[in-house]
Chains A and B, each alone.
Chain A
Amino acid sequence: MSSPTAPAAAGATGLLGAAAVLALGATVVLGLGLPPTEEQGTYARLIAIHPPLAWAAYLAFGVTGVASALWLWRRTRAPRFDRLAAASAEIGVVFCALTLVTGSIWGRPTWGVWWTWDARLTSTALLLALFLGYLALRRVGGPIDVRARRSAVAALIAVADVPLVHYSVEWWRTLHQDRSLRLPESDLDGAYTAVMLLGFVAMTLCYGWLLVQRCRAERLEEEGELAGLNAALAARRAEVPAAEPAPAPAASLP
């Protein structure tokens, strides 16, 4: 039932983890070494992590959507897509929340407010709410395949909402005010662009590594639940040996 991870796969995961830590470390060191800009001072350095975090969040939610669709399509239905969708949504929520937090920290000194109803901020916040709901639904529990079915449909509903939220919020805000919050592209000199690109690589690697680990933990959890269930069944059968002559087959993963 439990398939031990092949050494090659474990090695690749380790390599991915090492690369993620290295890239993240380099982003931190180089990002903190960036010269303060005239307009935004030291806060401009947040650009090394803020756009990469947002990218990783969108990537994660996209993966959740694709994995859910693959689970729903009968030909490709496999438990690993359910685990992938769950793991990716969890990581996506963390990255999405961090995007909002780093944006807020940058916004307070730069615009003077922690929050403003800008199109991009609003749609990111709604995206976070959508996937918080998805995670809440996943935590309800129940049989694994029933939960997978429910969650896959819920993920598709949420993903279908993303373009609708985007356009509605974009129209709403751009009617009332110009988008004042766009980063002035011309300000970005070479060093800033380079560190930001490094940040993109680092966050993508981090996402990949976390995803692998989270999927593995998810599988172990499911196997652990089944092992506990089978142990309880065996113990119960041992109590009443005469009542059941033929032992029922052990429960197994779908």
Chain B
Amino acid sequence: MWRDALLVAGKDLRIEARSRVASNQVAPFAVLVLVLFGLALDPDRGVLERASAGLFWVAVLFASVLAVQRSFTIETGDGARDGLRLSGLDPGGIFLGKTAAVVVQLLALEVLLAVGIVLLYGADLGRAAMVAASAAAATVGLAAAGTVYAGVAAGLRVRETLLPLLMLPVAAPVLLGATRAWEVAMGVSVDDGWRWVQLLAVFAAVYLALGVAAFGTLLEES
């Protein structure tokens, strides 16, 4: 399963390296969202600085919908889905591989956006350990839940409009947990930040397990 996961992740990342869809379209979109927040909330009143953790994670959430969608769009053309099914790869491995590829892309995007909120919103990412731990757990959770749902919606004509409706409510605990943990790390609020990191880790574990268990069933469908 792990070897299959590496193969699939390598394939997806290679496709991304050659097509540059995430870096040329998804990343600029996410940065644009940060700029739009700046226009919507008056930057002079300190609202942006206080809300920067939440705005960051909302931008990541929107970008993750696009990233997950892209991850399954590359399987729709040229009968790639049938190829994947006939390849004999373990379905759990395919799921983990696709999730891992999305995680790598989202983490790169988060580094970019973190620089963005420091520069644009004047955010102070003081406690790096909590920032990194919560971001890692949240990203794995988002990618795993998104990949299962994208597997559910794959092959449907309406998947572009359906996927956000399915994915965003499920991701609500991630948005809450990651935002609270980052607020603690930034010193905006006092709270037990590690408790939120634990919640994010549980979320990630639940959806990784669910995806590994369910992906075989999802791949069966025509």
Contact = CB atoms under 8 A, between A and B. Distances in A.
Q: Do A and B bind each other?
A: yes
Interface of A: 72, 126, 129-130, 132-134, 136-137, 140, 142, 146, 149-150, 152-154, 156-158, 160-161, 164-165, 167-169, 171-172, 175
Contacts of A130: 169-170
Given A156-B214, A157-B145, A167-B199, A150 B221 contact: yes
B169 A133 contact: yes
Contacts of B42: none
Given A146-B222, A164-B202, A172-B180, A153 B169 contact: no
Contacts of B36: none
Given A146-B222, A149-B221, A156-B214, A165 B149 contact: no
A94 B192 CA distance: 37
Interface stretch (B1-9, B21-29, B127-135, B151-159): B151-159
Contacts of A132: 165
A156 B213 CA distance: 11
Contacts of B114: none
12 contacts: A130-B169, A132-B165, A136-B165, A136-B166, A153-B217, A157-B207, A160-B206, A161-B172, A161-B173, A167-B199, A168-B173, A175-B191
List of 6 A-B pairs having minimum Cβ-Cβ separation, nearest first: A129-B169, A168-B173, A133-B166, A164-B173, A168-B176, A130-B169
Contacts of A149: 217-218, 220-221
A228 to B, nearest CB: 22
Contacts of B57: none
A164 B198 CA distance: 11
B177 interface: yes
Contacts of B169: 126, 129-130, 133, 161
A72 B217 CA distance: 8
Nearest to A131: B169
A150 B195 CA distance: 34
B221 A137 contact: no
B17 interface: no
Contacts of A168: 172-173, 176-177, 199
B218 A137 contact: no
A137 B172 contact: no
Contacts of A158: 170
Contact of A153 (B156, B162, B206, B214): B214
B203 interface: yes
B222 to A, nearest CB: 7
A142 B218 CA distance: 15
A156 B210 contact: yes
B221 A164 contact: no
A182 to B, nearest CB: 21
Contact of B162 (A140, A152, A175): A140
Contacts of A129: 168-169
B137 interface: no
B197 interface: no
Contacts of B186: none
A53 B210 CA distance: 30
B33 interface: no
